[in-house]
């Protein structure tokens, strides 16, 4: 049997930078595993990136750092060259990552005009319609105009969990071609004890009970609830230290004001974005007594995998039943500060039970698909869509 023909794949990254964010990490992990028959290009906010046939990321073939137009919210940054990039790439198939972003809309429009197959991985972006403040109005307007377009022209919707599939069909109020493909796992690398010791010494963690949040600093991630819970917890655990690890997405000033108002500055430390230095990043995980993820929703949760691969107890409010059971983590309802404080105290008071729970989750993670398996599944889907007629 002849080898399938090579084809050109266009993926869209909704984030401001290609190197940060869970969606960007998913795209990088996939294209690194694609076989030689896939030539993939990534359309990002400020430039598009081309990959070799083996899927290894090259430097940007063009760099367009033009003045950007802000449409009231960071997520909707517009690069006027995106459509030109699509024409230059001239893909055989279009894979949109996340919903409600300009790059996806441009690629979608190009796919409709050129009659190319379009598929979309939601990355939990559908549930974001429950947002707050001024963005909710913008999202409703967006949904009113573009929801029918996506409903009609997306050939296949990819979700990472059963709950996400239910959210999708509830949102569109009709049955859709949905396929569940859990994302791949990449276990955290082993960290040398000397690197952990250096991290502890640098940040003054000796003798501290350390809980860490890893992720973007944005309202719906729930960091504010941890700050409030510290008021109660530090009376029982005076040496508790809450590390915030991740890039600020416009919420840091609010968090700093809350820390000052509640007078918990001695118990909170903001370390910023550490993924540029993997040793320090994973040393932060290793030095933590527990990882806390108080987010409203999470499509896959790389933080869960990273924490579980290092057998760290996880305190979370995220509903992601396809990855863990409530017995694998310390679960509380989103926004319930008293319950959150109780879970932190439970981990502190029952350290052995917390470690045993973390080790159970660790064993589950070891049995999950790796990125190579997931990339092969995606390639089969691409080939099927290319070979079939609508």
Is the pLDDT at 277 greater than 80? The verdict is no
pLDDT at 366: 80
| 329: DSSP letter | S
CATH of 193-366, one of 3.90.190.10, 3.20.20.70, 3.30.70.260, 3.40.50.2000: 3.40.50.2000
Mutual angle of helices 337-349 and 351-366, in 10-degree steps? 100
Q: Which pLDDT band holds residue 252 (cuts at 50, 70, 90)?
A: very high
Residue 65 or 354, more confident: 354
pLDDT at 184: 82
Decide: residue 198, CB within 10 A, 0-12 exposed, 13-18 middle, 19+ buried.
Answer: middle
pLDDT at 21: 66
Q: Which residue has the tokens 């997520």?
A: 75
Interval 207-220 mean pLDDT: 91
Interval 354-366 mean pLDDT: 88
Residue 47, SS3? Answer: strand
Question: Helix (H) and strand (E) counts for the chain?
Answer: 13, 14
Interval 36-59 mean pLDDT: 52
What is the DSSP track for 104-118? HHHHHHHHHHHT--E
193-366 matches 7-184+369-387 in CATH topology: yes
Phi and psi dihedrals of 278, rounded to 5? -50, -40
Is the pLDDT at 196 greater than 90? The verdict is yes
* Structure tokens given for 136: 């909710």
Buried/exposed 58-83: b ≥16 CB within 10 Å, e otherwise: eeeeeebeeebeeeeeebbbbbebbe
Is the pLDDT at 233 greater than 60? The verdict is yes
Q: What is the residue extent of each domain of the chain?
A: 7-184+369-387, 193-366
Is the pLDDT at 106 greater than 80? The verdict is yes
Mutual angle of helices 133-153 and 102-114, in 10-degree steps? 20
Q: Which pLDDT band holds residue 88 (cuts at 50, 70, 90)?
A: confident
Is the pLDDT at 176 greater than 60? The verdict is yes
Buried/exposed 98-133: b ≥16 CB within 10 Å, e otherwise: bbbbbbbbbbbbbbeeeebbbbbbbbbbbbbbebee
Is the pLDDT at 76 greater than 50? The verdict is no
Question: What is the assigned CATH class of domain 7-184+369-387?
Answer: alpha beta
């Amino acid at each position: 049997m002849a080898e399938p023909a090579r084809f050109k794949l266009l993926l869209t990254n909704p984030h401001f930078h290609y190197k940060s964010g869970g969606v960007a990490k998913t795209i990088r992990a996939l294209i690194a595993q694609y076989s030689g028959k896939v030539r993939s290009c990534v359309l990002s906010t400020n430039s598009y990136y081309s990959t070799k046939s083996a899927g290894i990321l090259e430097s940007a073939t063009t760099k367009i750092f033009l003045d950007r137009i802000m449409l009231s919210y960071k997520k909707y940054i517009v690069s006027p060259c995106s459509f030109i990039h699509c024409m230059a790439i001239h893909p055989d198939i279009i894979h949109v990552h996340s919903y409600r972003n300009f790059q996806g809309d441009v690629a979608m429009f190009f796919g409709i005009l050129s009659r190319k197959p379009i598929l979309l991985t939601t990355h939990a972006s559908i549930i974001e319609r429950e947002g707050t403040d001024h963005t909710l109005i913008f999202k409703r307007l967006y949904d009113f105009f573009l929801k029918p377009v996506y409903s009609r022209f997306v050939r296949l919707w990819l979700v990472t969990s059963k709950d996400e599939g239910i959210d999708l069909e509830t949102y569109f109020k009709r049955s859709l071609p949905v396929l569940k493909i859990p994302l791949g796992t990449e276990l955290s690398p082993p960290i040398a004890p000397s690197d952990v010791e250096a991290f502890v010494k640098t940040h003054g963690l000796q003798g501290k009970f350390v809980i860490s949040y890893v992720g973007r600093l944005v309202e719906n991630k729930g960091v504010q609830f941890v700050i409030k819970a510290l008021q109660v917890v530090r009376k029982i655990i005076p040496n508790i230290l809450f590390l915030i690890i991740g890039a600020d997405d416009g919420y840091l000033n609010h968090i700093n004001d809350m820390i000052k108002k509640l007078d918990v500055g001695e118990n909170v430390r903001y370390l910023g974005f550490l993924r540029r230095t993997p040793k320090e990043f994973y040393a932060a995980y290793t030095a933590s007594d527990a990882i806390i993820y108080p987010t409203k929703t999470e499509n896959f949760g790389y933080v869960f995998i990273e924490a579980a691969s290092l057998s760290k107890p996880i305190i979370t409010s995220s509903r992601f039943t396809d990855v863990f059971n409530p017995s694998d983590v310390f679960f509380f309802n989103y926004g319930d500060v008293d319950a959150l404080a109780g879970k932190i105290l439970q981990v502190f008071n029952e350290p052995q039970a917390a470690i045993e729970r973390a080790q159970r989750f660790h064993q589950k993670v070891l049995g999950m698909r790796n990125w190579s398996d997931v990339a092969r599944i995606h390639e089969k889907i691409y080939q099927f869509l290319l070979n079939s007629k609508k």
